[in-house]
Amino acid sequence: MNTIDKPIAARKRIALVAHDNRKQGLIAWCDKHRGVLEQHQLLGTGTTGTQIEASTGMPVEKLFSGPMGGDQQLGAKICQGDVDILIFFWDPFEPMPHDPDVKALLRIAAVWNIPVACNASTADMMIHSTLMSQSFAREVPDYQGYLAARTGEITV
């Protein structure tokens, strides 16, 4: 797969998601890092976003709840370039009815090369990165090239 450069802007769109057993952990993490998070734009799946907003007072754009399609909505936004960072405290101890959606979300985040944190220590390292406050280069799949090659518009 060929890639192109697509920078992530200084003001980032940060997706926040947690399974039920990890929600308190994510809320505590958001509270701890409120000073940085307030400088960015937050979105999240339905229940997670609602609880973070209620608990911290920070505005969070709320998608559908995960089991009702929220993970898939988030995946679509990542494909469209509308999400820059994913912080997803998924539960390693409980199977979920929507496990295929969870896997799909993590896969699409890998495809589009966005930073992903699945636990507090990774999220801590991410939030303390100097790149949080500046634009940085990121390689993404060359979708137009991929499509053109598949539809026979270019020969390789």
Ligand X SMILES: O=C(CO)COP(=O)(O)O
Binding site, residues? 19, 23, 45-48, 65-66, 98
For residue 71, indicate whether it is catalytic. Answer: yes
The answer to the question of residue 17 lying near ligand X (CB under 6 A) is yes
Residue 67 near ligand X by CB under 6 A: yes
If one asks whether residue 75 binds ligand X (CB under 6 A), the answer comes out as no
d(CA 2, CA 100): 27
Catalytic residue among 5, 20, 71, 91: 71
Which of 56, 71, 108, 132 touches ligand X by CB under 6 A?
71
Dump the DSSP string for 5-63.
Answer: E-PBPSS-EEEEEE-GGGHHHHHHHHHHTHHHHTTSEEEE-HHHHHHHHHHH----EE-
Instruction: Report, in Å, the least distance between residue 124 CB and ligand X.
Output: 21
The residue among 105 and 132 lying less far from ligand X, judged by its C-beta, is 105
Please, which of residues 35-54 interact with ligand X by CB under 6 A? 45-48
Closest-approach residue to ligand X (CB): 66
Residues making up the chain, counted from first to last: 156
Which residues are annotated as part of the binding site for substrate? Answer: 19, 23, 45-48, 65-66, 98
The token pair at 71 is 């993970």
Separation between Cα atoms, residue 156 and residue 154, nearest integer Å: 7
**Distance between CA atoms of residues 80 and 116, nearest Å:** 17
Out of 8, 27, 102, 126, the only residue in the binding site for ligand X (CB under 6 A) is 102
Which token pair is 99?
């496990």
Min dist CB 46 to ligand X, Å, is: 4
Q: At what angle do helices 46-56 and 23-32 cross, to 10 degrees?
A: 40
Catalytic sites, residue numbers? 71
Binding site for ligand X (CB under 6 A): 17, 19, 45-48, 65-67, 70-71, 98, 102
